[in-house]
Structure 1
Amino acid sequence: MQLEHATEADFPAIINLVNAAYRGKGAVESWNIESGIIEGTRLTDSLLREDLAGKPHAHFLITRDPNSGAVIGTVWLEPVDDQAWYLGLFTVDPAIQNQQLGRTLLTAAEEFAKARGARSIRMGVLSVRDTLIAWYERRGYSRTGGTEPFPYDDDRFGKPLRENLVFAILEKHL
């Protein structure tokens, strides 16, 4: 799978893809949307630009459909320290899920980070998303026992519909 850095020209497609995959705002609903957990927009143009500007060492990568050139997957990779990288905004086009594209994209992201010195990948997944956590566990990720609070005071990521949201920290040694 070919990964490339996202460009400004890709932003509209990326934003539509992320919102469809996380919040079900698209023609086809993803198997892992945050329905009943968080509502509203997951990503906007201004939030994407802010994140990219604020984290210049991060890599926001995309993969494209080899025939149409459309953006069909995204992944954010960011060095946390000398050996650990953070993975976020992992997205696959809901219209083509269940074709093992997510597995392939995750492997490509891990290889990208490993080639740049990563010895482990960490991520935060909402602890109530048991099905998604199980998917990552089948790919070698484990719960670290750590959590991070959900940013209830920051409405840029949508409106939480529950009071008990925390991110479970998962990690995989590469």
Structure 2
Amino acid sequence: MHIEFTQADESHVDALVELVNSAYRGESSKAGWTTEEHLLDGQRIDAAGILEILHKEDSVILIAEDDDTGDLLGCVHLEKHDSKCYLGMLTVNPELQSKGIGKLLLSESEAFAEFWDCGKIYMTVISVRTELIAWYAKHGYKNTQEKKPFPYGDERFGMPKVQNLEFTVLEKKLS
């Protein structure tokens, strides 16, 4: 498999919605280790959310495609905030997880952030996702100890199955 990284456009919206929701929610997400199925019901993203990201200034969705088949393998949302870059929605097809695609997307994201002249890259992760936080720590991301509230009541981000969800902020200094 040869992976090509490009920026998503409106032609990718439906495939991105399907990919992201399949990796985080529902039965299909259980094939991978990034599932939030035990924490949240409902969708992770919809077409309007993808379009909002695509149309926002200083915001891109990088996609990883199989150059031979054109299949969408993964994606990541990047958004420039002054001298920092926000990384979100890092997604790999659940059936292809643990094959290095996420690591490649992370590396590509960091290179893109440096292209934007960002000195740091940061993200928010649901704080009880200790295995995911550990994966990011292995790749140089530090827990800042900063917490952000989960958007309870906003079904665009899912319907919580548990109480007291919050995000923790992870950050990495770039070269």
TM-score category, normalised to shorter length: over 0.9
In structure 2, the residue matched to 1:48 is 50
Cα deviation, residue 26, structure 1: 3.2
C-alpha distance in 2 between matches for 1:17 and 1:9: 14
> Contact conserved, 1:126 with 1:168, CA < 8 A, in 2?
yes
- Amino acid aligned to 1:72: L
Residues 26, 41 of structure 2: 8 Å contact kept: no
Q: Secondary structure at the match of 1:30?
A: coil
Q: Deviations over 1:51-97 (max 9, x none)?
A: 333x221111111012111111111111111x211000110111111
Specify the SS of the correspondent of 2:19: helix
Structure-2 residue corresponding to 1:90: 90
Q: Which ranges in structure 2 are unaligned for 5 or more consecutive residues?
A: none
Please say if 1:32 is aligned against 2:23: no
CA distance in structure 1 between the aligned counterparts of 2:107 and 2:53, rounded to whole angstroms: 24
Match of 1:5 among 4, 7, 12: 7
Over 6 Å off, 4+ runs: none
SS in 2 for 1:35: coil
| Matching residue's letter, 2:111 | E
Structure 1 segments unaligned to the other structure (5+ residues):
none
Quote how far apart the aligned CAs of 1:164 are.
0.6
8 Å CA contact 2:39, 2:160 repeated in 1: yes
Aligned 8 A contact 2:43 2:157 in 1: yes
Partner of 2:117: 117
Structure 1 stretch 126-135 or stretch 91-100: which is displaced more?
91-100
Give the 3-state SS of the residue equivalent to 1:62 in structure 2: strand
How many residue pairs are counted as aligned between the two chains? 172
Aligned-residue offset at 1:27:
8.0
CA distance in 1, matches of 2:79, 2:64: 17
Offset, 1:28: 6.5
What does residue range 117-136 of structure 1 map to in structure 2 within 5 Å? 117-136=117-136
SS in structure 2 opposite 1:26?
A: helix
Could you tell me which residue of structure 2 aligns to residue 161 of structure 1? 161
Cα distance 1:67–1:27, how it changes in 2: closer, same or farther (>3 A)? farther
SS in 2 for 1:162: coil
Q: Give the CA deviation at 1:124.
A: 0.2
| 8 Å CA contact retained: 1:24, 1:30 | no
Q: 1:24 to 1:30 in 2, by over 3 A?
A: farther
- Asked whether the equivalents of residues 19 and 25 of structure 1 are also in contact (C-alpha less than 8 Å), the reply is no
Question: How far off its partner does 1:103 sit?
Answer: 0.7
1:43 is paired with a residue whose SS is coil
The residue that corresponds to 1:138 in the other structure is 138
What TM-score, normalized by structure 2, do the two folds share?
A: 0.92
- Once the two structures are superposed, residues 12-61 of structure 1 have per-residue CA deviations (whole angstroms, 9 ceiling, x without a partner) of 111111001111453872212002211111111122223333x2211111
Say whether residues 1:77 and 2:70 are aligned partners: no
Other-structure match for 1:14: 16
